[in-house]
Chains A and B, each alone.
Chain A
Amino acid sequence: MKKIKILSLSLVVVLAGLFTYANLRPLSVAEKLPTVDLASYRLKGPMTPAERLALEQKMSALPGVTACSVNKEGRVASVLFHRKEIDEAQLARQLSNKGQWRVAQKALQTSGGCPMHGMTAPFHAFISVLDLRN
């Protein structure tokens, strides 16, 4: 019984320490910016370079969108956005340009990529959840 009490107390102390760290750690200039999400889409249908640029500019000007790129072939579009202001379905509707292009969200790989970010991601994610400033 005494061991359980000590263990519980230790856990509370560790959690309190992590909570304090999460909320008092100095944030970098970049960390103070609102967080973003990324969605990628496959586009079907002919697209001229001028239409591609116009679509990028239209998408980039939408509220909640921070950047949008369409590849040179006009087959892939990627969008960075603030989820609180716009979602993937709304982005897909805007990308279709009233049905001019068929749009399907592209599933991104879930493993691989930059190994360093992969290793620190769980800790970063946990600290972000505890950080009430987010």
Chain B
Amino acid sequence: MKPNRILFACLMAIAMAFTTRCTDDNKGNGEPTLYTRLGGIDVISKVTDKFLTNVVADDMINTRFEATVGNHYRLQVLRNNLIDQICAGTGGPCQYKGQTMLEAHTGMKISAAEFSALMADLAAALDFCEVAEREKNDLLTILTPMESDIVDK
């Protein structure tokens, strides 16, 4: 009888492990994460690249970024941080390793108008990459609260 119980316990543990793996990518209510709904890392990297070129072409804010994107290594750090941040923030399998938004922007004196221009560039990138309206709004809702850590610091 005892070996049967042990076998049953092992089978249950294996079943639970599989169930956990299968539900890794949802919020627990069966709905996929925003990361999955966006299209995963491929779409996030496309949106990030389009966002970066939008920003560099945007005369209102491009001077804030030129020195960073003009340097090969600094560009990779910025791009990787943006991708990891969006990926992690939407429930994807990434870990953001960069500074907090407050630490990264303190002393830069970024205005509310500059932040709005940045968000408009991101929204334009999402539109260009044909991200659905619901996913676009969900992502912007996650990112917009960062304004308090970025503006006028």
Contact = CB atoms under 8 A, between A and B. Distances in A.
Interface of A: 28-31, 33, 35-38, 40, 56, 60, 66-71, 73, 76-80, 108-118, 120-121, 124-125, 128
A113 B74 CA distance: 10
Given A77-B57, A114-B65, 4 more contacts: A30-B41, A40-B57, A109-B66, A116-B103
**Interface residues of B, dominant DSSP:** helix
A29 B83 contact: yes
A67 B50 contact: yes
A76 B57 contact: yes
Contacts of B75: 36-38
Interface of B: 41, 45-46, 49-50, 52-54, 56-59, 62-81, 83-84, 87, 92-95, 97-99, 103-104, 107-108, 128
A71 B57 contact: yes
7 contacts: A29-B94, A31-B80, A109-B70, A114-B78, A115-B107, A116-B98, A116-B103
Given A28-B80, A28-B94, A33-B83, A108 B67 contact: yes
Nearest to B63: A109
A70 B62 CA distance: 13
A30 B79 contact: yes
A115 B60 CA distance: 19
Contact of B54 (A33, A69, A113, A114): A69
A77 to B, nearest CB: 6
Contacts of A66: 45-46, 49
Contacts of B74: 113-114, 117-118, 121, 124
Nearest to B69: A38
A113 B95 contact: no
A66 B50 CA distance: 8
Given A38-B53, A38-B75, A121-B73, A71 B58 contact: yes
A112 B63 CA distance: 9
Contact of A68 (B53, B73, B77, B94): B53
Contact of B59 (A38, A56, A71, A120): A71
